[in-house]
Structure 1
Amino acid sequence: MRELVQTLSSLCGRCMAWNRFLPVLGAILCFGLLAVSSAHAVQPDEVMTDPAQEARARDLSRGLRCMVCQNQSIDDSSAPLARDLRLLVRERIAAGDSNQQVLDFLVARYGDYVLLKPPFETSTLPLWLLTPLLLAGGGLALWGYSRRRSKAVKAAQEAPPRLSEEEEARLAKLVAIERAAGEESKA
């Protein structure tokens, strides 16, 4: 990645505006390559002969969580348990089960955790509400911080208040005393 950025920088070295955008362009290129080359973990021996059933199996597999991997579908995971679950989904489809029957079977066996998108129920309410609440709280905290910060900046930019005549006289007296003390120490 660094070599790509350096090569592009050397080609566009005269144009400073391009140099700012090269890292962004490199990142877009990398993400684009990752998106295009998304390989699935489904092995050739797992593929069903009927294309319609295979499409159903793939669709179901994309919505099921691998119990071994972190938030990865069984369609994308190469873990042995994910392979077993993919085969189980295909067996149930080949036996004539509907998509909902396959999902119900897996939820009965593994619980709602097997679903990548858990259902909206009272038991899963914290999962659904926690993220928006955390985002709203973080946004409010950021808004409050920026507001306090802008007030502090404005206060610092304002000119300090002028000294009253009494304060100026007292300051002049202190400066005179300090100068006298400094001259005595030199002598």
Structure 2
Amino acid sequence: MGRGPTKEFKAMVKAFHDKGIKVFIDVVYNHTGEGGAWINGDSSTYNLYSWRGLDNSTYYSLTNDRQHSWDNTGVGGNYNTVNPIAQDLIIDSLEYWQTTLGVDGFRFDLASVLGNTCEHGCFNFDKMASNNALNRIINEFTERPTWGGQGSDFIAEPWAIGGNSYQVGGFLRDGQNGTVNTATRYVKIKTF
């Protein structure tokens, strides 16, 4: 079962499952804790905590000149969810949470960033684009059946602050009915 926190987390998930309770976790793939430039408009001084120091343009959406972070979420530079390498990090972590730790579902923070189709210098949400992280998640993870078993449930927070990132109702495919939880305004995207 693993050691330390992993063992404790798996024991917690099992205890909830034994009582018939599903375990969902909140995941944030729209940005990281690195934030933006120290001085607005100055590309010379940034915090370096993780991905920016490895490969800034792979892991973050940047302006056209690749000098500044692209931010239409209001919480720091957008994670580059169009890049296949950056997508691998998302997919691998979701698989770990689901397969190894037994999580039943995920709530995606500012999920419209997962549907972005523009890598640098812009933002364009397109739920139908095959190359975005949103559709890769949907295609690589099966929906958990109502009665339980393998698979995951997904909940999307359907907005950010800029471009066409306000997507309340926008996660449903044409011609399909979905469930909108009006109390929280999250769209269940498991109905794709």
- TM class, shorter-chain normalised? under 0.3
Normalized per residue, the structure richer in helix is 1
Structure 2-normalised TM-score? 0.21
Structure 1-normalised TM-score? 0.21
The higher relative CO (CA closer than 8 Å, separation ≥ 6) is in 2
Normalized per residue, the structure richer in strand is 2
